[in-house]
Chains A and B, each alone.
With several copies, the nearest count.
Chain A
Amino acid sequence: MSEDWDTQDSIIARREAEALIVDVDGFEGPLDLLLTLSRTQKVDLRRISVLDLAEQYLGFIERARSLRIELAADYLVMAAWLAFLKSRLLLPPDPTEEGPSGEELAAHLAWQLERLQAMRDVAARLMGRDQKGRDFFARGAPEALAVSRKTRFEASLIDLMRAYARLRTRDDFRPYAFDRSDIYPYEAALARLSALVPGASDWTSLQAWLPEGWRGVPARQRSAIASTFAATLELAKQGQIELRQSDTFAPLHLRRKSGQ
């Protein structure tokens, strides 16, 4: 059937159709292609023959296939739908069959094309308007005579959404890294211990020197013990404290060095 149609087709139209195939990457989807094909009918979009258009489209797909041009799936879906539409339009309506008539479907397609064309037209009109920064301008030197200085923190919605996206996908690809939340830094331990040592005249277990909130939870306690222990070594080295351990793995005790 499409061959008959091919031979009847004028050479010019065939050339145009072939140019379309070569340019298939230039189309933004099947509707765009249909809209381009519809222009060859040289009538108002409202009076377009959807049947002819379906033929043209199917012919296009046919030729693209014969030229072994890969078409994206949505072009093929549209072809299948148009073939279905064509059969509905050509065959007398089956009274037992439910669903919309071929005419209704065709009208909807024509409307979709008209709508797409309309959106393109208004998009062009929009871009053709005078634009800020090109045709008209805002004040070039906005004044800000300051008396009160206030810091305003700025963040855009994009920043917010990106921050969230980053957080929620971080686990997918974050390289292994130490997490710092349960780390009690050595500097903090040293500062804390140095401040407390003058009051430590009696032997006290190292455990008792751990800061509030770092006891009990194993991960935190471990870190606190390590850094506090390192701090005791430093203070002992400086001669500020004495350390005592009765046995291997026995609790470590410390006190202020006598005479300090």
Chain B
Amino acid sequence: MDKPVTPPQSLFPAPPMAEQERMIEAILFASAEPQTLAQISARLPAGCDAAEALVHLRTRYQGRGVTLGRVGDGWAFRTAPDLGWLMQTERVETRKLSRAAIETLAIIAYHQPATRAEIEEIRGVAVSRGTIDQLLEMDWIRLGRRRMTPGRPVTFVVTEEFLDHFGLESARDLPGLKELREAGLLDARAMPGAPAPEEDDEDDSPRSGQSELFED
């Protein structure tokens, strides 16, 4: 039995090699950057032999789905080169949805089925074609039944995909204005002198776009 060599300054024996291997495995897994031998050693208890443990660990991962390899000066886990194709779909760029899109989406979710004109009334500005197209393309909204009013405008409703993304069981589970306010999601800081926000439900939309200020 060969005992790990303990430097004289340490009061405790170094952990067994298998344990040192575990430690390095965890460190390299959790690190955002490849770790050099010196960095690894500095994080291990006194008396550890990181170089030897790395050799063992590398052997252990040989032929596995991930391998332990050198990256520059450091060590890191990487996907086995032959499995790179599995990672192909992984690259997705995430961008925040524009304010126009999120507002349009919110109106559709709360008022569905909603026509384009209704969305514009609530937002008080025109809805660009691109915004609707984007939401349709994302599969968050879809066309609902045509409204039985003059012009038979198309309506929009939210999709299953939308519910799935936002973790909702149904669009009816969205909290109403009153509930939003109670949950502190809605800052009721009114302008000085402005009337207090009315306690309305999501159903009775006052539909008061600023545009009517200009109506004759």
Contact = CB atoms under 8 A, between A and B. Distances in A.
Q: Say whether A and B bind each other.
A: yes
Interface of A: 28-32, 74, 99-100, 104-105, 107-108, 111-112, 114-116, 118-123, 125-127, 129-175, 177, 179-182, 218-219, 222
Contacts of A152: 92-95
* Interface residues on chain B, size class: 35 or more
Main secondary structure of the interface of B (DSSP, over half): mixed
Interface stretch (B39-47, B116-124, B144-152): B116-124
Interface string B131-155: 0011011100011000000000000
B197 A172 contact: yes
B143 to A, nearest CB: 7
Interface string B12-37: 00000000000000100111110000
Given A141-B33, A157-B166, A136 B81 contact: yes
B183 A118 contact: yes
A164 B124 contact: no
B134 to A, nearest CB: 7
B177 to A, nearest CB: 6
Given A120-B103, A164-B106, A139 B32 contact: yes
B73 interface: no
B87 interface: yes
B122 A119 contact: yes
Given A126-B105, A137-B87, A158-B137, A104 B167 contact: no
B192 A172 contact: no
A141 B195 CA distance: 52
Interface string B176-205: 110011011110111111111100101000
Contact of A126 (B29, B32, B175): B175
Contact of A108 (B90, B103, B181, B189): B189
